[in-house]
Structure 1
Amino acid sequence: MDDNDISQHPDLRDPDWQRRAVREARGDLRRQRRRGRIGKRIAWAAGSLVVVAGAVFGLVQWGRSTSAHYDGSAPPPAEIRPTAPSVLPDIAQVDLTRPFAGTPAETWGESVDALTVPPTGPVGRISAAQVQNAVDQVKKAIHAARLDRHTIEARDGSAYLNLLAPNARPASAGNIADRSSDAVMSQVSFAAEGFKLLPANPRISGTITAAPGTDSGRLTLHASFVVGYAFDPDGYTPIMSPGYIDVFMRHEVDFEMIAGSNYPKADRGLWVTRTNSIVHSMACGPAKKGYLAPAYSELGSDGGPVQNEAALFDVTQPMPEVSNPCD
Structure 2
Amino acid sequence: MEREWRREQRTAGKTIAVAALAAIALIAVVAWQYAPEWLGNTPAERPGVDFSRPFAGTDYESWADGERAVVAAPEFDEMRKAVIAARIDPAELERRDGAAFLALFPEAARPVWRQQLPLFVTQLSPGVQLLPNGVKAQGTIGEVVNEQGEKVVRTDFRIAYAFAPDDPAAIHRPEDFIVMAEARLDLQQTPGGLRITNSGIRWHDAACGAYVTGLVAPKFAEARQPC
| TM-score for the superposition, normalised by structure 2 | 0.71
Superposed, 1:102-141 pairs within 5 Å as 102-115=57-70, 117=72, 132-133=74-75, 135-141=76-82
The 8 Å contact of residues 66 and 89 in structure 2, kept in 1 or not, is answered as no
Match of 2:193?
269
CA distance in 2, matches of 1:290, 1:167: 24
Match of 1:284?
208
Task: Spell out, residue by residue over 1:158-202, the C-alpha distance to the aligned partner (whole angstroms, 9 max, x if none).
Answer: 111101222331211122xxxxxxxx3212111111111111141
Which of 79, 97, 102 does residue 161 from structure 1 map onto? 102
CA distance in 1, matches of 2:183, 2:70: 13
Matched, 1:188 2:143: no
Match of 2:187?
255
Other structure's SS at 1:164 match? coil
Matched, 1:297 2:221: yes
Identical aligned residues as a percent: 32
Superposed, 1:1-327 pairs within 5 Å as 19=42, 93-115=48-70, 117=72, 132-133=74-75, 135-175=76-116, 184-211=117-144, 220-259=152-191, 268-298=192-222
Letter in 2 for 1:228: A
Other structure's SS at 2:170 match? coil
Report deviation, 1:211. Answer: 4.2
Gaps of at least 5 residues in structure 2 are 1-36
Higher relative contact order (CA 8 A, sep 6+): 1
Match of 1:34?
none
Closer/same/farther in 2, CA of residues 92 and 250 from structure 1, 3 Å limit: farther
Report deviation, 1:285. Answer: 0.7
CA distance in 2, matches of 1:245, 1:271: 34
| TM-score for the superposition, normalised by structure 1 | 0.51
Report deviation, 1:212. Answer: 7.1
Gaps of at least 5 residues in structure 1 are 1-15, 23-90, 119-131, 176-183, 260-267, 300-325
The 8 Å contact of residues 105 and 203 in structure 1, kept in 2 or not, is answered as yes
Other structure's SS at 2:196 match? strand
Other structure's SS at 1:156 match? coil
Report deviation, 1:155. Answer: 1.7
Greater Rg over alpha carbons, structure: 2
Closer/same/farther in 2, CA of residues 292 and 164 from structure 1, 3 Å limit: same
Letter in 2 for 1:224: D
Paired residues, what number?
A: 184
Report deviation, 1:104. Answer: 1.6
- Runs of 4+ with deviation above 6 angstroms: none
Report deviation, 1:154. Answer: 2.5
Letter in 1 for 2:160: G
The 8 Å contact of residues 92 and 242 in structure 1, kept in 2 or not, is answered as no
The 8 Å contact of residues 72 and 80 in structure 2, kept in 1 or not, is answered as no
Closer/same/farther in 2, CA of residues 173 and 235 from structure 1, 3 Å limit: same
Larger strand share, 1 or 2:
2
